[in-house]
Amino acid sequence: MLTLKQWQFCLTEMDKMFPEAHCELVHRNPFELTIATLLSAQCTDKLVNRVTATLFEKYKTPEDYLAVSIEELQQDIRSIGLYRNKAKNIQALSQKLLDEFDGQVPATREGLESLPGVGRKTANVVLSVAFGVPALAVDTHVERVSKRLGICRWKDSVLQVEETLMKKTPMDEWSKTHHQLIFFGRYHCKAQNPGCDHCPLFTVCREGQKRFRKGLVKRSE
């Protein structure tokens, strides 16, 4: 397992690599971010952004999503995986916002997680990005990088990964660390091609060292 000193080294290096890391889901307000994050489950941000480019011009309020049939909304997001269930959740979420939150996305975890289709990860993203509340959402990139590096155990659940990262990362760096871990996993430590041969974290990385011992990684230094 990484020591705190090693983890801080990782955070510093990722900050050098991706100083401008940010949420890549295109949105203009908390409502659009909530919808986009809901759509992003098991789907790439790039595809979501292609769909929401037209979706967010057609639908701007909860009322707009409820003014059409479920079949029409399904058609509008058809290229996204699980589109039937996501369309159902979007309409249910929109109705709940109108019924219980005056049409506004709540700025609390409890309120967000009460919305259909909004789990802990989505709530963390909205809290952090839309409302500036310290949070550390764990998506597939964050989980993969955390376990490869060895800050977390391979058997840890997503919640355990989140708890470990929050415990070992200063609170004022949670949001930045979330985005930098995503960028690191999305653009460098990829699922199929981790980039160990030119990784600045190689010396402290559990997976990198394992791959090196197996002869899967060649280092120039």
Q: Which residues are annotated as a binding site?
A: 189, 196, 199, 205
In whole angstroms, how far apart are CA 158 and each of 27, 145, 167?
26, 12, 14
Which residue among 88, 121, 156, 214 is the active-site one? 121
- Residue ranges of the annotated binding site for [4Fe-4S] cluster are 189, 196, 199, 205
Burial class (CB in 10 A: 0-12, 13-18, 19+), 209: middle
Q: Is 139 a catalytic site residue?
A: yes
Report d(CA 178, CA 165) in Å as an integer.
Answer: 9
Q: Assess contact for 118 and 40: CB atoms under 8 A.
A: no
Q: Is 121 a catalytic residue?
A: yes
Selecting among 76, 86, 139, 176, the annotated active-site residue is 139
Is the distance from CB of 134 to CB of 171 less than 8 angstroms? Answer: yes
Evaluate whether 90 touches 38 at the Cβ level (below 8 Å): yes
Return the active site residues: 121, 139
